[in-house]
Structure 1
């Protein structure tokens, strides 16, 4: 989903990757259709023949996504096991508010798997957003700017420990310019929505001048702790094989809330701060 992995093999292996992608999308989306209504896909198709499908209906969005992945030469950045982790949560929480950092080849799938919910994508590259939306206008996405660079990771951790506006009891996001890890200047919808699921697969974090995911991980933790609604916030962090992702996840998302690890994906279930026994301390974990 991030821009880190937008180049894919073009040799003979691509054929198997395309087949896997089609299988993944097909199984997941068909399962979603079955869960949503009738006892069989054939019944769903029969109904669709007798009743015209609206261009923006859930069924149309899901079927378009299925056809897209079955015929695409591009494969999602996550593998089947990693995708299944988020999919299983979406099945139980749908419809929900799903925030995705990163816009990529799997965005159509995530959008289709949350029918009647709100799925919002945040991406740093305006040209890439325009390119994706040309083929998938049903996707909702914003272009955002980050204040950090990957090479600042160590300094940002030190800053967190000495800046009062970053501490758990004071941390907020909108307008918090004092805390360099807080995501500021984002669209109002980002702050005004209470997110049930947050996927972190962006921004870029593979070279020194890239934004890195430090601020995103911190801000996801703040949003989860400030949750007012029922239940926990599910946070999915990809690329945990990288040093910075793993270090900041341990600092802010907390190993005690890690419920599943598959491949390069970690799944956290973070409760609101009033259910967190360490909410008044100087650290998140």
Structure 2
């Protein structure tokens, strides 16, 4: 995560807006939950029940610390208010949740505060930077991690990862996957043992050749999302998409078809688990089969030559059954052409 520079005017305006955002989150959370509780109160027990509810949904110590911190600090988060609001909108509906953040910085206390009673875990490459941040905010759950890639290797990694079977979407995993250089194998057990509802990628550093780059973080986030067993999608937020490598790896592994929002330098993806595709395939397996094909399928900048069957569902939706993995596209036929570069029916 880059160390930002600020002007006094920008800091003042941002602190006011950010404090309002956190206070609004507290009010929103308390109001929604309290209304539900009040509806079940009897007249005799109303006062005591209301007091219990107020205590249960009172601001957490971390939230109060966050308000005080940002109200008295001239240092503000790296992301803009508009970018922060994208993640905040999701947290309003998903919190308390499991929130994994690649990067530790001036926004970390804010992210923890916006996920009260949930798990927010930060992964940071620089041990000294961890000490600097945690010294002032000891309630943060932060771990130091080591990256084995360098930004200057990005193009080579993108070209060669397909030659390693354990990097393929259908077979990739993280813990102990030493054959795939893009898999993060040295993370804390907590990262592997939990399913993450939200993943924010705002680190490691990726602005000079010897920096680790975010290639492995992006790949690993995609693997986590695809391996999800719980219900719902995994929300992945990638910052600094104005940079070539971030954008290139996002298109390759997170895929544009899952991109739901782009604000400033932030992209928001909603990635379904691979199990959803299996269930959908089962439902469509009786659809009219148009024939087998040898396809070159494009996901972003990648080209994959695969065997597939093409089918049609209700005349407007296309499904693809790939031979080496279970993947599904359901979109108007004209849109599917964006993914198919060339094909010949067998």
Partner of 1:222: 223
Query: Aligned runs of 1:105-124 on 2, under 5 Å?
Result: 105-124=106-125
**Cα contact 2:237–2:268 (8 A) shared by 1:** yes
Partner of 2:21: 28
Partner of 2:335: none
TM-score, reference length from structure 1: 0.88
**Cα contact 1:167–1:283 (8 A) shared by 2:** no
1-structure distance, mates of 2:125, 2:103: 8
| Runs of 4+ that moved beyond 3 A | 276-285
Task: Compute the displacement of 1:243 (Å).
Answer: 0.2
2-structure distance, mates of 1:66, 1:280: 53
Give the gaps of 5 or more residues in structure 2: 33-50, 278-319, 328-338, 340-346
Query: How many correspondences in the alignment?
Result: 265
Partner of 1:182: 183
Partner of 1:207: 208
**Cα contact 2:88–2:114 (8 A) shared by 1:** yes
TM-score, reference length from structure 2: 0.73
Structure (1 or 2) with the greater strand fraction: 2
2-structure distance, mates of 1:269, 1:38: 28
CA RMSD of superposed structures (Å): 2.2
> Is the alpha carbon distance of 1:124 and 1:88 closer, same or farther for their aligned partners in structure 2, counting shifts above 3 Å?
same
2-structure distance, mates of 1:262, 1:189: 31
2-structure distance, mates of 1:216, 1:195: 14
Question: 2, 8, 12: which is aligned to 1:15?
Answer: 8
2-structure distance, mates of 1:202, 1:218: 13
1-structure distance, mates of 2:137, 2:276: 40
Query: Aligned runs of 1:83-232 on 2, under 5 Å?
Result: 83-232=84-233
**Cα contact 1:168–1:279 (8 A) shared by 2:** no
User: Given the alignment of the two structures, is residue 254 of structure 1 paired with residue 237 of structure 2, yes or no?
Assistant: no
Residues 55-74 of structure 1: per-residue CA shift (max 9 Å, x gap): xx853211210111111111
